[in-house]
A = this chain, B = another copy of it.
Amino acid sequence: MVDHQDAQPAEERSPDAGASRGLSRRGLLGLAVGGGAAALAVGAGAGYAVASSRSGAGEARPYDFFGEHQAGIVTPVQEHLHFASFDMMPRTDRADLIELLQDWTYAASRITQGLDVSATGAVGGSPESPPDDTGEAQGLPASGLTVTIGFGPTLFEKDGEDRYGIRDRRPAALERLPAFLGDDLVPESSDGDLCIQVCADDPQVAVHAVRNLSRIAFGRARLRWSQLGYGKTSRTTADQQTPRNLFGFKDGTANILADDTAALDENVWVAASDEPSWLAGGSYLVARKIAMLIETWDRVRLSEQENIFGREKGEGAPLSGGSEFTEPRLAKLDANSHVRLAHPDTNGGTRILRRGFNYVGGNNALGRLDAGLFFLSYQRDPQQFVTLQRSLSTDLMNEYVRHVGSGLWAIPPGAAAGSYVGESLFAQ
């Protein structure tokens, strides 16, 4: 699709209409570093004047970026994940943070529609400037791309410092997750001031998003860690098959589904009556990088594997009988089986929305695959995850997994057209 080339004011155009007037000077600087002043002049002055060469807008299910809730939570789980955690740069201030969120909103509102990261795009700028868009997604459709932005505890206060004047707006529930039995966390895959969950059905589109949002953050935030994943391990709509994790089992059969609005309101969305009010319509995101000792698991006999899960491995039916979607009779399962310990009935009705992905990162020096589950869950209150994770402390499966990464972020509500993600946090 060729973008608008006329002199029509930006505000009247979609998708830019909803997202300020384009990238900030600083955002353009990130794109232009090394290109000299010409880049700034072209980017800022004529940002809407040149064609985008992305052809895919409108194809392959572009999801709205603006709305009541951020996309990427109840959106049907896509095939690929690129999750990125960022830390704010030293000496940045409140205005920098707001500008960054505005820039990310602008760019995300475009790339989720299959457009380049700016109107100037990959090839529309001056030949004497680095391109605004890195270009590897040219010609690819939107591919179901969603970009979901979150705020970590350290954004509100770090080492006692209130860097952005938002300390008193920190949700009381937003603090580093408590240590759990068996945690083996590494800082290189934990925490972060900000996070971006990028999901898409094409890995190139997901990687393109993280890469370009990282560029735009130049001088304001820096990529702290990132994680790729594939092959969703949860279904969020009834017509999706329950996928299998790397232990070969169907997992997430009992997940909250996108059309179950009552369950979402009860368990996922922060309500207007919850504190703080700026987070109403938002959620909390837990990420856990769970390494799976698959070579060890693969040597466990089938009956024991099934006992550990509480489900049979083929169809995924609970060991208490029936088929995959039959409610398990918990008393018939091993008291420390995964299904029993994770079940709402064992946890006072606690439910979460799971949205995890498998990951494989090659292998270690012993020839063992570096693989596991990048667990992601959305909940109205982090305590829901804490309750479940504590319940799982006696899970028979723990012998075969190691939690090596962890993070918690508050997920602000969706931005209205004309606004930006997180605006309610800064409103007085």
Residues of A within 8 A of B (CB): 31, 33-35, 39, 53, 80, 82, 122-123, 125-131, 133-139, 188, 202-204, 207, 210-211, 214-215, 222-228, 230-231, 241, 243-249, 294-295, 298-303, 305-306, 312-314, 358, 360-363, 365, 367-369, 371
Residues A360 and B207 in contact, CB atoms below 8 Å apart = yes
Shortest CB distance A298–B (Å): 6
Closest residue of chain B to A127, judged by CB? Answer: B303
Return the 8 tightest CB-CB contacts between A and B, nearest first: A135-B248, A34-B299, A127-B303, A223-B367, A123-B314, A204-B231, A203-B230, A222-B367
Chain B residues whose CB sits within 8 angstroms of the CB of A247 once the complex forms? 135-136
Chain B residues whose CB sits within 8 angstroms of the CB of A214 once the complex forms? 367, 369
Residues A298 and B130 in contact, CB atoms below 8 Å apart = yes
Chain B residues whose CB sits within 8 angstroms of the CB of A188 once the complex forms? 365
Residues B33 and A299 in contact, CB atoms below 8 Å apart = yes
| Cα A185 to Cα B126 with chains together (Å) | 37
Chain B residues whose CB sits within 8 angstroms of the CB of A138 once the complex forms? 244, 248, 313-314
Shortest CB distance A337–B (Å): 16
Residues B244 and A302 in contact, CB atoms below 8 Å apart = no
Residues A130 and B33 in contact, CB atoms below 8 Å apart = no
Closest residue of chain B to A241, judged by CB? Answer: B139
Chain B residues whose CB sits within 8 angstroms of the CB of A305 once the complex forms? 130-131
Shortest CB distance A310–B (Å): 15
Q: Can you list 25 A-B pairs with a CB-CB distance of less than 8 A?
A: A35-B301, A122-B313, A123-B302, A123-B314, A126-B302, A127-B302, A128-B303, A129-B302, A130-B298, A130-B302, A130-B305, A131-B248, A131-B302, A131-B305, A131-B313, A134-B248, A135-B313, A137-B244, A138-B313, A203-B360, A210-B369, A214-B369, A222-B367, A227-B362, A228-B361
